[in-house]
Structure 1
Amino acid sequence: MDAVERNAPVIVGVDGSATSYAAVSWAAREAQLHGCALHIVSALGALTPGGSGIRLPLSYFADRDRAVHAHLDEAAAIARSTHTETSKTEVVTDVLDGPERPALLEASKHARMIVVGSRGLGQITAALAGSVAVALAAHAHSPVVVIRGHAGQTSGTGDVFVGVDGTENSRPALSAAFEEASVRATGLVAVHTWTQFAMSTALDDQLDLAWDEVEVAEQAVLAESLAGWSGRYPGTPVTRTVIQGNSAKELRGRAAGAELLVVGSHGRGGFAGMLIGSTSTVLLHTAECPLMIVRSDRRNGVGRQRPDVAPHRDGN
């Protein structure tokens, strides 16, 4: 991480929803852990919410401005309540012009990470992540953390979990996961999954492989992915977990009580044009702990599949 990134703030978006205030609580603690500033932002929304042909009274905009500033004041109070006697984080509030999604995407260019609640005001169902969280996961320039539930449910007490698929796509996620485990002085659980069936194997007569040998090979894939990281983070204990099964299901279940779950934006199985991989998408809507999605750059050859590996590794 260069000097600019080291000084970059944690940015959290608020809109008055319960999950956005939960995100503030988590983000404030995160900023303390990293010794950086916390920027709390809220977007004004479209200049003409009802469409360009609809004229709204001035009172609408006055009420909107008051609501936005009230949200920021409440969020700042929540953030400052997390201060300890030995650690006080600089808290900055700011109103962003324009709709929430493009405003937060622009803000992510200058963030250590950007944190949002899983769903904002006006969402039809609590079961799925809102459009802002989905857009940030697909397009943000920094890692994105999505918080589900209320404030009391967002601070895990377990280890940091990370999904590892054996490709270069895992490296940004591994880097972030080791750093997060290190600043928390907790353990790291690296989870690698594989399945016995994929379309690639169905078409090339490889379904009769010796699966016990494949298991050994998958253990080696995880070991190779983790090589060198423990040397850089000697104080972080690492647990290696290799599982035959669906990656999203296994990660969701095993990391339910985790401090944080970290995944890459794409996995081995994704198409180059996909904005976010299948595992990341499922976890975005279902993870029960704070979820960090770290984007990777597939345009530079990241995530190219090795031709000699038969089993299918579920993508992030």
Structure 2
Amino acid sequence: MDAVEPKAPVVVGIDGSARAYAAVSWAAREAQRHGCALHIVSALGDLNPHENGIRLPQSYFADRDRAVHAHLDEAVAIARTTRTATSSTEITSRVLDGPARPALLEASKSARMVVVGSRGLGQITAALAGSVAVALAAHAQSPVVVIRGHAGQTSGTGDVVVGVDGTENSVPALAAAFEEASLRATGLVAVHTWSPFTLPRAFDDQLDLPWDEVETAEQAVLAESLAGWTERYPETSVTQTVVRGRSAAELRDRAADAELLVVGSHGRGGFAGMLIGSTSTALLHTAECPLMIVRS
């Protein structure tokens, strides 16, 4: 990933849904922490005036344009209310041409991060993240933050949780997690999970294997991964957690009350060219706290 300009903006995509407005609140606070601008965008959608061979009336496009601008106006008002009275955060808004996915992917090229709600107005299944969030997680050129439910309204007292797999894939996630914890003046919980077998955990205790030795080796992997970062951020309190289990479930549970959960786009089980791994995908659909996915 190319280096981001120091004052690159936090970009938040909206569509008028409740989760999009929660994303605006979170993004406004994030921009203030980073001392950068907040850029609120909304996509017009398909500009083709034909739908299934039927020509749509001009009134459809006029109503759509009015709705998009109204959503932006409301989002700007929310952002202004969210920031503190002393904040100098610049807030801008823009209507993007075309569908949301390609428009936001393009915006990610010059963004510090892109923030979206987990699903928008067009989503039917409440339990799953929407197609825009999934596409951004797989293809965006900046970190992506997905706000699920009302997770944008965090307590302000939780820790930042980061998944660490001991490979180069988790280095960008560690960098982002330490920075976020430092900006919040909160603790960092580094979670390293291991499970060398695909068997259900119910069978683990029946296998005659040196589990204690494996646990010790995995603790060393985590400590080595954190060594340089704890020196760079000495003011950040770090809790090291090594657990035998499935990565997505363990990270989700430990981040239940977190300010932010940070993961890489894929872990040590990933392969070259992989867009997003199974752990990141599962968390995208299930994490209740704000989730940041940092691509390698």
Please confirm whether the aligned pair reaches a TM-score higher than 0.5, indicating the same fold: yes
Structure 1 range deviating more: 238-247 or 155-164: 155-164
Once residues 154 and 184 of structure 1 are traced to their aligned partners in structure 2, the CA distance between those partners, rounded to angstroms, is 12
Equivalent pair of 1:128/1:285 in contact (CA under 8 Å): yes
Once residues 50 and 212 of structure 1 are traced to their aligned partners in structure 2, the CA distance between those partners, rounded to angstroms, is 64
Q: Deviations over 1:85-136 (max 9, x none)?
A: 2213110000101000000000000100000000000211110000000000
Partner of 1:162: 162
Equivalent pair of 2:4/2:111 in contact (CA under 8 Å): no
Partner of 1:310: none
Q: Secondary structure at the match of 2:270?
A: coil
**By how many angstroms is 1:155 displaced?**
5.1
Unpaired segments of 5 or more residues in structure 2? 200-206
Partner of 1:143: 143
Partner of 2:231: 231
Compared with structure 1, are the counterparts of its residues 172 and 17 closer, same or farther at alpha carbon in structure 2 (3 Å cutoff)? same
Equivalent pair of 1:147/1:154 in contact (CA under 8 Å): no
Q: Secondary structure at the match of 2:241?
A: strand
- If the length of structure 2 is used for normalisation, what is the TM-score? 0.93
**By how many angstroms is 1:51 displaced?**
3.5
Q: Secondary structure at the match of 2:121?
A: coil
Once residues 97 and 193 of structure 1 are traced to their aligned partners in structure 2, the CA distance between those partners, rounded to angstroms, is 42
Once residues 252 and 92 of structure 1 are traced to their aligned partners in structure 2, the CA distance between those partners, rounded to angstroms, is 33
**Once superposed, what is the RMSD of the aligned Cα atoms?**
1.8
Equivalent pair of 2:39/2:91 in contact (CA under 8 Å): yes
Partner of 1:77: 77
Q: Deviations over 1:183-239 (max 9, x none)?
A: 00001000000014149xxxxxxx754111010000000001001101111111100
**By how many angstroms is 1:150 displaced?**
2.5
Matching of residue 5 in structure 1 with residue 5 in structure 2:
yes
Equivalent pair of 1:22/1:154 in contact (CA under 8 Å): no
Matching of residue 124 in structure 1 with residue 137 in structure 2:
no
Compared with structure 1, are the counterparts of its residues 2 and 140 closer, same or farther at alpha carbon in structure 2 (3 Å cutoff)? closer
Once residues 239 and 81 of structure 2 are traced to their aligned partners in structure 1, the CA distance between those partners, rounded to angstroms, is 34
Q: How does 1:190-269 map to 2 (within 5 A)?
A: 190-198=190-198, 208-269=208-269
Q: How does 1:268-307 map to 2 (within 5 A)?
A: 268-296=268-296
Once residues 4 and 276 of structure 2 are traced to their aligned partners in structure 1, the CA distance between those partners, rounded to angstroms, is 27
Once residues 60 and 31 of structure 2 are traced to their aligned partners in structure 1, the CA distance between those partners, rounded to angstroms, is 35
Q: Secondary structure at the match of 1:7?
A: coil
Equivalent pair of 1:25/1:151 in contact (CA under 8 Å): no
Q: How does 1:64-103 map to 2 (within 5 A)?
A: 64-103=64-103
Once residues 41 and 291 of structure 1 are traced to their aligned partners in structure 2, the CA distance between those partners, rounded to angstroms, is 20
Partner of 1:33: 33
Once residues 254 and 100 of structure 1 are traced to their aligned partners in structure 2, the CA distance between those partners, rounded to angstroms, is 32
Equivalent pair of 2:31/2:37 in contact (CA under 8 Å): yes
**By how many angstroms is 1:26 displaced?**
0.2
Equivalent pair of 1:263/1:292 in contact (CA under 8 Å): yes
Unpaired segments of 5 or more residues in structure 1? 200-206, 297-316
Compared with structure 1, are the counterparts of its residues 49 and 227 closer, same or farther at alpha carbon in structure 2 (3 Å cutoff)? farther
**By how many angstroms is 1:48 displaced?**
2.2
Equivalent pair of 2:181/2:187 in contact (CA under 8 Å): yes
Q: Deviations over 1:289-309 (max 9, x none)?
A: 00000001xxxxxxxxxxxxx
Q: How does 1:39-78 map to 2 (within 5 A)?
A: 39-48=39-48, 51=51, 53-78=53-78
Once residues 285 and 258 of structure 2 are traced to their aligned partners in structure 1, the CA distance between those partners, rounded to angstroms, is 16
How many pairs align?
A: 289
Percent identity of paired positions between Structure 1 and Structure 2: 83
**By how many angstroms is 1:271 displaced?**
3.0
Partner of 1:133: 133
Partner of 2:182: 182
Equivalent pair of 2:193/2:244 in contact (CA under 8 Å): yes
**By how many angstroms is 1:59 displaced?**
0.8
Equivalent pair of 2:152/2:290 in contact (CA under 8 Å): no
Which residue identity does 2:47 align to in structure 1?
L
Compared with structure 1, are the counterparts of its residues 44 and 154 closer, same or farther at alpha carbon in structure 2 (3 Å cutoff)? farther
Equivalent pair of 1:162/1:174 in contact (CA under 8 Å): yes
Q: Secondary structure at the match of 2:182?
A: helix
